[in-house]
Chains A and B, each alone.
Chain A
Amino acid sequence: MSAPELVTVTIDERAVQVPKGTGMVETAAAAGIEIPVFCYEPRLGPPVGACRMCLVEVEGMPKLQAGCTLSAQDGMIVKTARTSSQAAEGQNSTLEFILVNHPLDCPVCDKGGECPLQDLTFRYGPGSTRMTFPKRTFEKPIPISPLIALDRERCILCYRCTRFSERVAEDGQLVAINRGAQSVIATFEDEPYVGHFSGNVTELCPVGALTSTQYRFEARPWEIQNVPTVCGLCPVGCNTTATTREGKVKRILSRNHPEVDEGWLCDKGRFAYAHLDASDRITAPLRKAGPRRFEELSWDDALDQAEQLLRAGGASTVTALSGGESVEEAYALGKLLREGLGANAAVLPEDVPDWGDAFRAPLSALRDARTIAVLCDEPVVERAPIVELWLKAAQRSGATIVYGAPGGSVDALVTDDATTTVEATNVYYLPRTPNGRGVADAWSAAGDGEPLDAEPRLLLISGDEAATDPSVRALARHADAVIGIGMFQESFRGLADLVLPSTSYLERDGTTINLEGRLQRQRRTVLAPVPDLLAWISKLAERFDVSVSPHVSVVFDEISARCFGGITFGEVGERASLPPRAERAGTPPPAKEHVAGAGLRLVAYRPLFSGAAVDRTPELQFQRPAGEVQLAREDANARRIRNGQTVTVSSNGTSVELRARIVRDLAAGTVRVAQHDAGELHAHVEVEA
């Protein structure tokens, strides 16, 4: 590609060189000058010029121009409100008009204190009102879903939310209705806004019109702390900020990593933090006191009992990991068990191949792909939601996306640009767990003995996800004893003899590896109600003469030498970079071959809105998929099935009634049902209207 042509633009008497066509807001920013905006948001597609906050004077043009829709041309001379009284008057006018009907309820508005409208009014707006008529009123607040409240009086009609719905999430559910001063934002047909990404509109809203029902009236901006961290609920690892007040997480905001998430978050990552305060949260060690009952015990007693059980289990101890542990937690646990007991056997959450490292690329490269093959059977959006937004962006810019691989499936996306060389091929493996890769690496770095091939005497289950996994629970039946490490009593009830409390990803310091292979840093955003995992593992390890530091940076340094090229903990950074591509080695893993059979192949997938954290967030329950079977259009047509119709899915004598949903991201011959709806269905099913 040739270098873009540079042009010189003069803004407020400062000359600045930018590539031709650069937006004026960015051009001004390059000159260190702010052009204030409300509606302008480049992530939402082309500028619309609606709010008129960005008015500037351009030499040679008689009228003020909207800066957001101007692009840099050579020799342009632009004056902002700093140097042009006409532009200043224009911006002052815009604010006066916006405020004509905007309620003066800042003292009780969640946005107050971090509100662009407040900030820009202070800087560019009138100090008093000349509006003496009754303000326009609407019924408020309107719940557009259990997660989001809409205050139409505060709305300044910047259309950011509707553009997000239309152009980014492409769900088309949020729309503007009516006309002129009576225009309001509404959901289509007043249905609740159901979608994986709905919460982003609360963050896009430049006023307090769209607010999170979880955060409403919970905190004021001057009494909160914002802690940068990384989401730990799926393998994307979106960069986030946790807002905390008085030691509690109050909300999760996006923290734009342009290569990973572009500032979008899924609703699980945004709203599921409520699990921190779940009523069955384990806050002290627990001992089995009956088939369905636990009793608390002191930490000294708990460590004594743990030691006892571990000694009894010895090398025949098997560890089941969840994939939600941090690299350091998995390593510390591995070191204790492998060095201290010679217990090398582990049930890893998944097998993440490292073959793809030779084709590693940032997620943002998806946008520039010409063709994308989605080889994964499960819906991408359920496994790695933000990847779905990148796929949509790619499709909008003309990429061809094909779904399904004949004969077998690989949990990966393969992309190609027009040159179709090996160098231009990117592979994105889609793990099932947030840190399955990091956990596997850490476990293998923690020791090098071979596992014993014998019945487990002790099963150590790390994490609630492992504790609720049917195969792990099956294994537990063969063990003499079970130690659990987890957050919620329900996960371990009737299963574990001893449960040691663990912390959430929001309560710990550590690192994780996302689906791109990017090592990212999670930060402790609030103090957990229980001691840090590393602290008690360190104590327990002492009893087995194993040295595990209670300090995460020391543990990291130990692994880093082996796995991460020796970088230090501090070097991971707030917006981590992607390591370069690895040397090509080995052969790609074989595809999981489709089992032959008659009828439609059933894929039972795990919905995004499921799992321990979602179960404990009441506001998210409406997002669970309600009994549906996903079909490709060809298969639906062949069976005369309409979208939304109730159908019978059956195999070998069992059948389930589900609602048909015709989807595009599915190859013909395959149907999808959420795991919890699949019940006893076999690998091949028939679907009938």
Chain B
Amino acid sequence: MAPEIVLKDATTKLTEYEATGGYGALAKARAMTPAEVTEELITSELRGRGGAFFPAGRKWSFVPSKEQLPKPHYLVVNADESEPGSFKDNEILSRVPHRFIEGCLITAHAIDCDKVFVYIRGEYSGPYEILVGALEELKDRPEIRGNVTIVVHRGAGAYICGEETALLESLEGKRGQPRSKPPFPAISGLYASPTVVNNVETITTVPPVIAMGGAEYAKLGVPNTRGTRVVSISGNVVNGGNYEIEAGTSLREIIYDLGGGIAGGRELKAVVPGGSSTVILTKDEIDVGYDFDSLGQLRTAMGSAGIVVLDDRCCIVQLGIRFSEFYEHESCGKCTPCREGTRWLTAILRKLDDGRATQGDLDLLLDVCDRINGKCLCPLGDSDAIIVASYVAKFRDEFQAHIDQGGCPLDGHSSLDHVLAPVQMHAHSPAAHGPEVRA
């Protein structure tokens, strides 16, 4: 079992958190210059946990000084966790809210900012309440808060608002659609000012990095993927849930030792390794380290660490429909290939599922994937194209069988039970107009 770094000493209480050394890293960081804090992060090799895996310290270092660009700096925390299969940020905010807040305050110090915006998924009512409660506790602790204001903003229910520039648009009160980059947020982000956008887990990892020192943190994990990761295991496993693992742990170990293996004694069929947007792995591909390089060799990624386990009842075409419907539903409508292509992909997949598809439809499916991929404004449309193409590439026989047999070869025995909810069943944000809370 790996050392817990992010989730250790779980508590929502300020006193308990302080009793285990909480907010000590903040004091340590404030005794350092912002540049030294950033340097510590660079040394730790901590990389972004939202999915793009960009080195956190380097991202901070891109923020121009106020002498270079006389504008306010902002820290925006992306807590709009909406990737099907990922629910780690939910757990982090619920269990260690003060560590998260401490991370915000250290990061604010490092990038010389006094305004932090936490953009939290609207449906996350539980974590929202806990976070707000934790911020309340800091009301009479000015020595902890410093001059920093933390604003918690609840999303109104859009996956695209997890894309950093769409998030910024939404935060500014506009329609949640991605901006074209460059300029990158570090130069022109929120209100056209230098902005660092980090994921909840990244921010929550900052206090332990400062506390133990970047070099010490970098001893954990494997090259190119240091430290720990909180992974979400779901689907047809015995013990679904969030687990903090040391980077590089094998996927088989995660599924069988932590997840307790396949539920109901069934056979493993495939694994989605890092949330819906990542290329699928077959049952023969799980002896792989859960890290950037190892998964990269299989042309997939850790993404947002949502591991979805699929047993032998899973019809891969239906899985494609479930995911593609999601992307179609969540496409923001800004760029053409995503808006039109995701809808088209779903239609072709449904035709395959219905048993009406011809050989030409399979070629068309791949061609449409090809035509979406690499041409969209943001990664949403690309993701749909990449994963659907990966399903065909790895399970071509099964697709072929749908054509040859005029329907699903599992013949009524297919099931996606426990494998993510279909888009029609998704909850709606209760907080489209929720109040904002300041600390």
Binding site for B on A (CB under 8 A): 47-53, 55, 63-64, 66, 69, 89-90, 93-94, 96-98, 100-101, 130-131, 133, 136, 156-157, 159, 175-176, 178-183
Stretch at the interface among B122-130, B253-261, B331-339: B331-339
Complex: A48 Cα to B158 Cα, angstroms: 20
New contact pairs (4) apart from A94-B336, A97-B337, A179-B329, CB-CB < 8 Å = A93-B337, A131-B344, A136-B343, A181-B333
- Tell me whether A90 and B340 are in contact in the complex, defined as CB-CB below 8 angstroms, given that A48-B334, A178-B333 are known contacts: no
Chain B residues in 8 Å Cβ range of A156 = 336
Complex: A351 Cα to B343 Cα, angstroms: 63
Q: B337 touches which one: A52, A63, A69, A133 (CB < 8 A)?
A: A52
A52–B376 contact, CB under 8 A? yes
Q: Which 5 pairs, one residue from A and one from B, show the smallest C-beta to C-beta distance?
A: A183-B333, A180-B331, A49-B180, A93-B371, A97-B340
B332–A179 contact, CB under 8 A? yes
Chain B residues in 8 Å Cβ range of A51 = 335-336
**Chain B interface, DSSP helix/strand/loop, else mixed:** helix
Complex: A620 Cα to B180 Cα, angstroms: 39
15 contacting pairs across A/B (C-beta < 8 A): A52-B336, A55-B375, A89-B371, A93-B371, A97-B341, A101-B343, A130-B364, A156-B336, A157-B336, A157-B339, A180-B328, A180-B343, A181-B328, A181-B333, A183-B332
B180–A100 contact, CB under 8 A? no
A603 to B: closest C-beta gap in Å: 34
Complex: A93 Cα to B364 Cα, angstroms: 13
Binding site for A on B (CB under 8 A): 158, 175, 180, 328-337, 339-344, 347, 351, 364, 371-372, 374-377
- Tell me whether A98 and B340 are in contact in the complex, defined as CB-CB below 8 angstroms, given that A50-B335, A90-B375, A176-B333 are known contacts: yes
Complex: A52 Cα to B332 Cα, angstroms: 15
Q: A179 touches which one: B331, B341, B347 (CB < 8 A)?
A: B331
B169 to A: closest C-beta gap in Å: 11
User: Which chain B residue shows the least CB distance to A49?
Assistant: B180
A181–B374 contact, CB under 8 A? no
Complex: A133 Cα to B330 Cα, angstroms: 21
Complex: A100 Cα to B377 Cα, angstroms: 19
B281 to A: closest C-beta gap in Å: 24
B436 to A: closest C-beta gap in Å: 23
A180–B329 contact, CB under 8 A? yes
Complex: A94 Cα to B381 Cα, angstroms: 13
Chain B residues in 8 Å Cβ range of A63 = 374-375
User: Which chain B residue shows the least CB distance to A69?
Assistant: B180
B359 to A: closest C-beta gap in Å: 14
A52–B377 contact, CB under 8 A? yes
B95 to A: closest C-beta gap in Å: 32
Q: A97 touches which one: B336, B364, B374 (CB < 8 A)?
A: B336
A180 to B: closest C-beta gap in Å: 4
User: Which chain B residue shows the least CB distance to A179?
Assistant: B333
Q: A101 touches which one: B175, B340, B364 (CB < 8 A)?
A: B340
A72 to B: closest C-beta gap in Å: 14
- Tell me whether A179 and B158 are in contact in the complex, defined as CB-CB below 8 angstroms, given that A50-B377, A64-B375, A69-B180 are known contacts: yes
User: Which chain A residue shows the least CB distance to B337?
Assistant: A97
Chain A residues in 8 Å Cβ range of B342 = 180-181
B339–A183 contact, CB under 8 A? yes
- Tell me whether A98 and B374 are in contact in the complex, defined as CB-CB below 8 angstroms, given that A69-B180, A130-B364, A181-B331 are known contacts: no
B334–A96 contact, CB under 8 A? no
Complex: A175 Cα to B177 Cα, angstroms: 13
Chain B residues in 8 Å Cβ range of A130 = 364
Q: A98 touches which one: B332, B336, B376 (CB < 8 A)?
A: B336
A572 to B: closest C-beta gap in Å: 43
User: Which chain B residue shows the least CB distance to A101?
Assistant: B340
Chain B residues in 8 Å Cβ range of A133 = 344, 347, 351
**Chain A interface, DSSP helix/strand/loop, else mixed:** loop
User: Which chain B residue shows the least CB distance to A99?
Assistant: B340
Q: B344 touches which one: A100, A179, A183 (CB < 8 A)?
A: A100
Complex: A96 Cα to B336 Cα, angstroms: 10
Complex: A53 Cα to B335 Cα, angstroms: 10
User: Which chain A residue shows the least CB distance to B363?
Assistant: A130
B191 to A: closest C-beta gap in Å: 15
Complex: A52 Cα to B331 Cα, angstroms: 15
Complex: A48 Cα to B181 Cα, angstroms: 10
A96–B375 contact, CB under 8 A? no
User: Which chain B residue shows the least CB distance to A180?
Assistant: B331
A49–B335 contact, CB under 8 A? yes
A96–B371 contact, CB under 8 A? yes
Complex: A90 Cα to B372 Cα, angstroms: 9
B196 to A: closest C-beta gap in Å: 22
Chain B residues in 8 Å Cβ range of A176 = 175, 333
Complex: A542 Cα to B376 Cα, angstroms: 73
Complex: A47 Cα to B342 Cα, angstroms: 24
A181–B339 contact, CB under 8 A? yes
Chain A residues in 8 Å Cβ range of B333 = 157, 176, 178-183
User: Which chain B residue shows the least CB distance to A48?
Assistant: B180
A487 to B: closest C-beta gap in Å: 47
Chain A residues in 8 Å Cβ range of B180 = 47-49, 66, 69
Q: A180 touches which one: B330, B337, B344, B374 (CB < 8 A)?
A: B330
A215 to B: closest C-beta gap in Å: 27
Chain A residues in 8 Å Cβ range of B328 = 180-181
Complex: A98 Cα to B341 Cα, angstroms: 9
Chain A residues in 8 Å Cβ range of B375 = 52, 55, 63-64, 90, 93-94
Chain B residues in 8 Å Cβ range of A178 = 333
Residue from A69, A93, A178 with most neighbouring chain B CB atoms (10 Å): A93
A258 to B: closest C-beta gap in Å: 26
A167 to B: closest C-beta gap in Å: 12
Q: B334 touches which one: A50, A90, A97 (CB < 8 A)?
A: A50
Chain A residues in 8 Å Cβ range of B341 = 97
Complex: A181 Cα to B180 Cα, angstroms: 20
Chain A residues in 8 Å Cβ range of B343 = 100-101, 136, 180-181
Chain B residues in 8 Å Cβ range of A55 = 375
Chain B residues in 8 Å Cβ range of A49 = 180, 335, 377
Chain B residues in 8 Å Cβ range of A98 = 336, 340
Chain B residues in 8 Å Cβ range of A52 = 335-337, 375-377
User: Which chain B residue shows the least CB distance to A136?
Assistant: B343
Complex: A50 Cα to B335 Cα, angstroms: 4
Chain A residues in 8 Å Cβ range of B158 = 179
B330 to A: closest C-beta gap in Å: 7
Chain A residues in 8 Å Cβ range of B331 = 179-181
Q: B339 touches which one: A53, A64, A89, A180 (CB < 8 A)?
A: A180
User: Which chain A residue shows the least CB distance to B180?
Assistant: A49
Chain B residues in 8 Å Cβ range of A101 = 340, 343
Chain B residues in 8 Å Cβ range of A175 = 175
Residue from B331, B336, B339 with most neighbouring chain A CB atoms (10 Å): B336
Complex: A182 Cα to B377 Cα, angstroms: 18
Complex: A50 Cα to B334 Cα, angstroms: 5
Chain A residues in 8 Å Cβ range of B335 = 49-52
B82 to A: closest C-beta gap in Å: 13
Complex: A66 Cα to B182 Cα, angstroms: 12
User: Which chain B residue shows the least CB distance to A158?
Assistant: B336
Complex: A181 Cα to B347 Cα, angstroms: 13
Complex: A52 Cα to B175 Cα, angstroms: 19
Complex: A96 Cα to B341 Cα, angstroms: 10
User: Which chain A residue shows the least CB distance to B374?
Assistant: A63
B49 to A: closest C-beta gap in Å: 24
A183 to B: closest C-beta gap in Å: 3
B374–A64 contact, CB under 8 A? yes
Chain A residues in 8 Å Cβ range of B371 = 89, 93, 96-97
Complex: A647 Cα to B377 Cα, angstroms: 50
B336–A50 contact, CB under 8 A? yes
Complex: A133 Cα to B350 Cα, angstroms: 11
Complex: A298 Cα to B336 Cα, angstroms: 64
A45 to B: closest C-beta gap in Å: 12
Complex: A159 Cα to B175 Cα, angstroms: 12
Q: B332 touches which one: A66, A93, A97, A180 (CB < 8 A)?
A: A180
B351 to A: closest C-beta gap in Å: 8
Complex: A181 Cα to B324 Cα, angstroms: 13
